[in-house]
Each structure stands twice: as structure tokens, then as C-alpha cells.
């Protein structure tokens, strides 16, 4: 993980505010974007997220709400645009 490239996460999803940190992997895909991202909410690990042809997903399939995964993924996409 490239902790020097970490950036803050701050978004509201379904009326609840989420804050944490997103850390990109050092591995980069063919589109130039990191392959996956480590997401923490507060001081707690949340998930490793990756983007596929079908949208964002939890790499380890921990059963997190799909809408929240997509919202965090959109936040990541916006950060890189």
C-alpha cells in the first residue's frame, strides 16, 4: 500500500456521515488507476475496494451494503478525475 498517496474520505450516504482514509495500492491497472484501495472508516478497517466492468466491489466480499460501496467508489473516481 502506498500510504504517502492516502487521501481523506468524507461523504454522506443515506443520511449518515462517513469519514476515514483511502489508501491506494501500489499496483496500477491498464487505465493508470490503482488496482484496489484500502478504506478505513474512523480508525477501523472497512474494506478493500476495486473497480470492475460492473462497478465498484468489495474485493474480499465481506457483505457490506452495495450502495455504500458504490458511493465510496464514486468518491474515489471523483478524486482521481
For 33-64, what is each residue's pLDDT tens digit?
899 999 999 999 999 999 877 789 998 887 88
In sequence order, the 6+-apart residues with CB closer than 8 A to the CB of 62 are 47
* pLDDT over 80 (residue 68): yes
**Cα–Cα distance for residue pair 56/66, rounded to 1 Å:** 9
* pLDDT over 90 (residue 81): no
Q: pTM for the complete prediction?
A: 0.89
Q: Quickly count: other Cβ atoms within 10 Å of residue 76's Cβ.
A: 21
Structurally, the chain folds into a number of domains equal to 1
What is the phi/psi pair of residue 22, to 5°? -115, 125
Number of alpha carbons in the 13 Å side-chain half-sphere of residue 39: 28
For 62, the domain range is: 3-80
Element (H, E) at 40: strand 36-41
Amino acid at each position: 500500500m502506498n500510504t504517502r498517496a492516502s487521501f481523506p474520505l468524507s461523504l454522506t450516504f443515506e443520511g449518515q456521515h462517513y469519514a476515514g482514509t483511502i489508501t491506494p495500492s501500489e499496483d496500477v491497472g491498464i487505465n493508470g488507476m490503482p488496482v484496489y484501495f484500502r478504506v478505513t472508516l474512523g480508525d477501523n478497517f472497512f474494506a478493500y475496494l476495486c473497480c470492475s466492468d460492473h462497478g465498484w466491489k468489495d474485493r474480499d466480499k465481506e457483505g457490506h451494503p452495495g450502495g455504500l460501496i458504490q458511493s465510496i467508489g464514486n468518491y474515489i473516481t471523483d478524486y482521481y478525475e
